[in-house]
Chains A and B, each alone.
Chain A
């Protein structure tokens, strides 16, 4: 396989998505509602009653990275639905009949999910600014958060495409998406620290990629201490490579 062509095709697929967003971005704007509610209602309330041991930070500071990760998780875990829809209208057939390698199509789609994730991150930063959540707006850290968001979106969108290869319908993808997001969310450090979980849940949260994502974002946005960062990113990179590879080999099944 020619690496240059492979990357060019992946970027073209992402470009395709970007052009579609440019024509109609309604979906992106509606996606801000849910995280806004989490921060404004859930976050503000628990902030006032000080029920969570959130260390040196206020609860709403603690929660912001968690909600960012959660909203990116929502975008990516349902990404397979888009691909199933593209299969239903024949676009996927067309994409897979071009000379571009199939893995570049999958990688491109996951990059497109990353693009949506970036947009989400920008909106949550804006929201945090408006309601006065103190986060470190250091350019390098922000860039780091963007990188983590892209990787995370790639990881779970390719996982979603892998599932779609077997599930094949939008209804089933909705079902499995719902079934996965809540356990992933609650068995992570997104809304409370791992230390307060029961022991069995602590073990699960260690195996949950979302915990590493939240940890990475939190260390960049709040603490400014990076000792866990290499491990967080390594776990994320490995999971992404595994899922992109898996989805590349299975995506053809979606057409059968």
Chain B
């Protein structure tokens, strides 16, 4: 049954399916995206993606998380066949991405990081052109476009040039494109970047609907932890081209092992060690210390006593119950300062490349 569904959607590429190696009984089990030791090295020997392996199940929302430059976008670009891996294998619904790029692109929808709709066309025209390029059946095309515009609340402005749209509306139009083309898998690269909070919520709602109502498998990249927590069934945290950890949001939160207590001090403390039973210091600077504990509420009195015992004046204590930010901090191993350093380095590299 499922095989039939595949073949009719890739009409003239049946041979690819004939040649692929899955047999009937495990067809149900076929993964949406399967990456195995995937590696991408850029010209100047930067290992953007470094032997990563992961699999995305059909029907789930899978998140690739990580700081800027962790290799998320490069991974997505390899899947959508915009860039080629140096080594490793990559399969989309059992089809080898490197061998049959056009078949793979037919099953995928892609919303790049930067706005990619054509602002010199109307919303309707954008949907029309891209549905034609994605070979949406002629009979269904117009109905799907009308439905998608309706669904994304853009009907009233369908014939306006997109350059008169707001950022949120452009994003919704891009998701409408995915609705018209009905891909089996949708790749979203930083979908809510640059959106105001209410547009962001709207986009999240649309993404969830796509997943729940149309059964679209979604791979999303983000550096926004609340977005990942809100949307994703499973998350892989990437750092410097590698996957640092992979699991459900709950598993990952459990993994950070509890709450973070932040102590703000009136003055710089002398060097000292915190007793193990209170917790571990994960970060400290001149006037604040972050302590990871299994139970924040119980740790507070102990911490207060400890500092009082050392005659250090505490200004305030706050608890941060475990969330994905902490997981991110633990595995992405990078603080703001480093991030800024990386960013400047990257701009410089771009500059050099342009001058070449």
Contacts and interface: CB of A to CB of B under 8 A. Distances in A.
A51 B120 CA distance: 47
B115 A99 contact: no
Interface string B127-164: 00110111100000000000000000000000001000
Contacts of B112: 90, 93-94, 97
Nearest to A96: B82
A8 B108 CA distance: 20
A2 interface: yes
Nearest to B42: A256
Interface stretch (A9-17, A115-123, A217-225): A9-17
Chain B interface size, as a band, is: 20 to 34
B114 A99 contact: no
Interface in A1-52: 1-2, 5, 8-9, 12-13, 15-16, 19-20, 23-24
Nearest to B187: A97
A256 B132 CA distance: 26
B230 interface: no
Contacts of B254: none
Interface string A156-182: 000000000000110000000000000
Interface string B159-186: 0010000000000000000000000000
B133 to A, nearest CB: 4
A144 interface: no
29 contacts: A1-B102, A8-B132, A8-B135, A12-B132, A12-B133, A13-B133, A15-B129, A16-B118, A16-B121, A20-B118, A89-B114, A89-B116, A90-B114, A90-B116, A91-B117, A94-B110, A94-B116, A95-B133, A97-B80, A97-B105, A97-B110, A98-B133, A98-B134, A99-B105, A99-B133, A99-B135, A100-B133, A101-B102, A256-B83
Given A2-B12, A12-B132, 5 more contacts: A89-B119, A91-B118, A93-B112, A95-B133, A100-B134
Interface of A: 1-2, 5, 8-9, 12-13, 15-16, 19-20, 23-24, 89-91, 93-101, 168-169, 252, 255-256
